Structure 1
Amino acid sequence: MSTSNTAASYGSVAKTFHWLTALLILSNIGFGLVASWQAEAVQAAGAQPSAADLARAAWLFSTHKTLGVTIFFVALARILWAVTQPKPGLLNGDHGAEAILAELVHWLLYGSLVLVPLTGWIDHAATTGFAPIWWPFGQGLPFVPKDPHVAELFATLHYILQWVLIGAIALHVMGALKHHVIDKDATLRRMLPGNTRGEPTAKQPGHALPILGALAVWAVALLGANQLGWFPSTHDAPAAQVTQAEAEPGQWQVTSGELSIAIQQMGQEVSGQFANWTANITYDETPDAEGKHGAVEVSIDTGSLSLGSVTDQATGPDFLASGSFPTATFAAVLRQKEDRLVTDGILTIRSIEVPLSFPVTLSIEGDTATASGETSVDRRAFGIGDSVSDEGSLAFDVVISFDLTATRAE
């Protein structure tokens, strides 16, 4: 069997691409469905997933994503091969509407083989969350920011386009069976192993109408989804709110800042921020008799945490339990230890108090100060994620960092 196509038959390379693509797509549809069911079970209200449940969900999604990227590159290779080869003509090219529909479905298939995995890949690249793609080339994409709005948009596109792909596959299979069972021609046999030839009819459909038809199908799918309200709102999420009571002399008014956390999940860093927190800070460059420079009191709205695709899980009952413990606090004194400014205090999460001390980098220019710091805590000390006891699934250490700007109160 020749590796190349002829006007009447497919070569071995085209056949290999065809059946490899079919195997990958059908497998990945299955993995995607099972992964979605597992995710729904893990995130269901009142669910207390075990480490095995989370690991299974992550494995399913990682498999789905890795196969999706594989399909993307196989599709590109298949398209590049196809454009260099003669295309065997239709055996019923003179059947008007049926021939045009067959070509339209082929355009839908080729386009969807690129668009469906690409939109899923962009969703993954824009998302902060678990389930990495299993390859050594990183998890991001050029020009794709870590942005929940971008992730949600492309997740929606991925969902819509996958149904177009599934519909095109169904029509393609039905058409092949119709040719084999009813028409009894060589259309299906030409794609099976062997040297089956099928002489195409002299009349063949052009490309313009099928391409326009495929574009119309995608447009109708997207417009219909928009009418159904599937696309995310374009309104921006509320900006992070850092508030402070009316400052008194000796206090510093926080004007901007970020409070972030990061943790390793399934070997990948997952990071996010708290949108709402308050900080009351007093500081004097000259220490008092006890060597204290001041104090800090921070109150954090735990439900305002944004942690990408695992936000609901992170704020749920087994982790921060925001419904039962809506506020975390940190109260500390600021003192100089050796040549560093250090906070010594108590961090309270889920009503559990744990001593915490860490260095702070402080710079003061006139009446404006910038401060930053980073530390780590063991989530187990606060009873966070007790059901996930495997550090390989979810690390024990959580990195907490802050960066803020404040002005001196007059």
Structure 2
Amino acid sequence: MIANTATRYGLVARLFHWTIAVLVLVDIALGLIGKFTPQSGDTVDFLQLLYSSHKTIGITVLFLAVLRVIWAISQPRPVPIHPERRFETFAAETVHWVLYAAIFVLPLSGWVMHSTEVGFAPIWWPFGQNLPFIPKSEGIVVTAATVHWISGIVLAATIAAHISGALKHAVLDRDGTLARMWNGREVGNGATKHVTVNPSLFAAFAVWVFAIGGALTVFAPTYHDVVTPQLPTQKTAGWAVQNGNLSIAITQIGAKVTGDFARWQSTIEYDPETGIGTANVIIDTSSLSLGSVTDQAKGPEFFDIASHAQAVFDAEIAQIDGTKHTATGNLTLVGQSVPIAFDFDLEMKDGIATVSGGTTFDRRDFGMGAAYPDESSVGFSVDVLIELTATLAP
């Protein structure tokens, strides 16, 4: 029988149940494997394949969940077999409501993460990658990641409770509860009625409020403080940088990935009359944020922050023509010193200098990413961009 009755689940409901169950368990396994697989040149292709699979299965679960709810609304719900066991019935229905919410919250929060963070492990479908109206935002990434993490824990705990209950009915009670969903057997008294306003729905809602609210309160601020510290006002010998942004861009698997360094300091001497000066920039490479590949970028194959916590650029500034300037010097990175030229525009107005420019270097010149001998996974070029405003130091 395709449709539900008061004493059995129909074929459609059973197909939804077991299909979603298998996909969820597979997706949990993929997520855990990805979590505990170190990012390196040997694993990048594997992780890209794994996370694309994880995301695609998650989106599939989300849309199957929508269809399942639509079908459930149109069908009678089989009544409890033991309505006299009030607490057991309450607990079972609470678990069901929590599970229903989980198969929406978990993939949806993952999709928000995918839409807002940089990095590229695409969803395998032709309908676009990002949710509409979701901006690229570190704050949204942190919130979505926290919700995704805690909802995964809630889902795993609820699945364990659900399986335990099913085994109890099958092994101890032998009452046919599992058979209802396994092969559609008719079990129970169809005359029993469901409670119209179900207290288990409110209990499930309370579980989610406690879980997500607690996680966002306890964990999200800590994570955000670590990942995105505020850039302090930087005092220099000649000029004081009032605000600025030092960013980089790389290419990973054909997609542009951008990030920035949250902590850096500069000592700038510059004479507007002659257009000549010097610059010394010290960058805390551990403050790099590069989206989903941050940990890999900080690892030994690239910036190697454990052994080289700083990058230093010492340069001489020269005016080329009008606002066009260049800073020529050595960039010391991961123990290697390489000459580079940093071209920038400098505009002076009312005693405020506005600087915007950049340079591009080849990661191979610094021995970075030796495990990536071609550009199929990670491009050779690294773009460095800077924007800042500065005033004469008192």
Residues 1:107 and 2:90 are matched in the alignment: no
Q: 2:264 aligns with which of 263, 273, 277?
A: 277
Alpha carbons of structure 1 residues 173 and 234: separation in structure 2 relative to 1, 3 Å: closer
Alpha carbons of structure 1 residues 172 and 122: separation in structure 2 relative to 1, 3 Å: same
Aligned to 1:326: 309
Matches within 5 A, 1:213-252: 213-219=203-209, 221=211, 232-233=221-222, 236=225, 238-241=229-232, 243-247=234-238, 252=239
1:147-196 C-alpha deviation (Å, 9 max, x unpaired): 1x543444333333223222322332333344444544443333345x64
Q: Could you tell which deviates more after superposition, 298-307 or 337-346?
A: 337-346
Aligned to 2:335: 351
Q: 2:192 aligns with which of 192, 198, 203?
A: 203
- Give the deviation of 1:311 after TM superposition: 3.1
Q: 1:335 aligns with which of 303, 311, 319?
A: 319
Gaps of 5+ in 1: 43-48
Aligned to 1:29: 28
Return the alpha-carbon distance in structure 2 between the equivalents of residues 169 and 105 of structure 1: 8
Q: 2:358 aligns with which of 371, 374, 380?
A: 374
Aligned to 1:46: none
Aligned to 2:11: 12
- Could you tell me whether the CA contact under 8 Å between 1:342 and 1:359 is conserved in 2? yes
Aligned-partner SS, 1:241: coil
- Give the deviation of 1:67 after TM superposition: 1.7
Aligned to 2:65: 75
Aligned to 2:282: 299
- Could you tell me whether the CA contact under 8 Å between 1:253 and 1:407 is conserved in 2? yes
Alpha carbons of structure 1 residues 388 and 298: separation in structure 2 relative to 1, 3 Å: same
1:215-238 C-alpha deviation (Å, 9 max, x unpaired): 3433555587689x6554388453
- Give the deviation of 1:284 after TM superposition: 4.8
Gaps of 5+ in 2: none
Alpha carbons of structure 1 residues 407 and 20: separation in structure 2 relative to 1, 3 Å: same
TM-score (norm 1): 0.82
Aligned-partner SS, 2:280: strand
Q: 1:142 aligns with which of 108, 133, 136?
A: 133
Aligned-partner SS, 2:191: coil
Return the alpha-carbon distance in structure 2 between the equivalents of residues 373 and 242 of structure 1: 20
Residues 1:255 and 2:242 are matched in the alignment: yes
Identity %: 40
Alpha carbons of structure 1 residues 376 and 22: separation in structure 2 relative to 1, 3 Å: same
Alpha carbons of structure 1 residues 101 and 204: separation in structure 2 relative to 1, 3 Å: farther
Residues 1:387 and 2:376 are matched in the alignment: no
Aligned to 2:177: 187
- Give the deviation of 1:362 after TM superposition: 2.9
Return the alpha-carbon distance in structure 2 between the equivalents of residues 242 and 355 of structure 1: 28
Alpha carbons of structure 1 residues 269 and 140: separation in structure 2 relative to 1, 3 Å: farther
Return the alpha-carbon distance in structure 2 between the equivalents of residues 231 and 297 of structure 1: 35
Return the alpha-carbon distance in structure 1 between the equivalents of residues 269 and 166 of structure 2: 76
Alpha carbons of structure 1 residues 232 and 15: separation in structure 2 relative to 1, 3 Å: same
Aligned to 1:121: 111
Return the alpha-carbon distance in structure 2 between the equivalents of residues 235 and 53 of structure 1: 27
Aligned to 1:93: 83
1:317-354 C-alpha deviation (Å, 9 max, x unpaired): 32222343333222133231699444433322223232
Return the alpha-carbon distance in structure 2 between the equivalents of residues 394 and 138 of structure 1: 21
Aligned-partner SS, 1:321: coil
Aligned to 1:310: 293
- Could you tell me whether the CA contact under 8 Å between 1:128 and 1:146 is conserved in 2? no
Alpha carbons of structure 1 residues 123 and 254: separation in structure 2 relative to 1, 3 Å: same
Residues 1:165 and 2:165 are matched in the alignment: no
Aligned-partner SS, 1:404: strand
Q: Could you tell which deviates more after superposition, 67-76 or 9-18?
A: 9-18
- Give the deviation of 1:74 after TM superposition: 1.7
- Could you tell me whether the CA contact under 8 Å between 1:190 and 1:197 is conserved in 2? yes
1:20-52 C-alpha deviation (Å, 9 max, x unpaired): 10111111111122212214xx4xxxxxx3x22
Partner AA of 1:334 in structure 2? A
- Give the deviation of 1:400 after TM superposition: 0.7
Partner AA of 2:133 in structure 1? P
- Give the deviation of 1:116 after TM superposition: 2.0
- Could you tell me whether the CA contact under 8 Å between 1:296 and 1:334 is conserved in 2? no
Aligned to 2:42: 52
Aligned to 2:53: 63
Residues 1:399 and 2:386 are matched in the alignment: no
- Could you tell me whether the CA contact under 8 Å between 2:7 and 2:190 is conserved in 1? no
Partner AA of 1:301 in structure 2? D
- Could you tell me whether the CA contact under 8 Å between 2:317 and 2:325 is conserved in 1? no
- Could you tell me whether the CA contact under 8 Å between 1:344 and 1:356 is conserved in 2? yes
Aligned-partner SS, 1:52: coil
Return the alpha-carbon distance in structure 1 between the equivalents of residues 100 and 393 of structure 2: 64
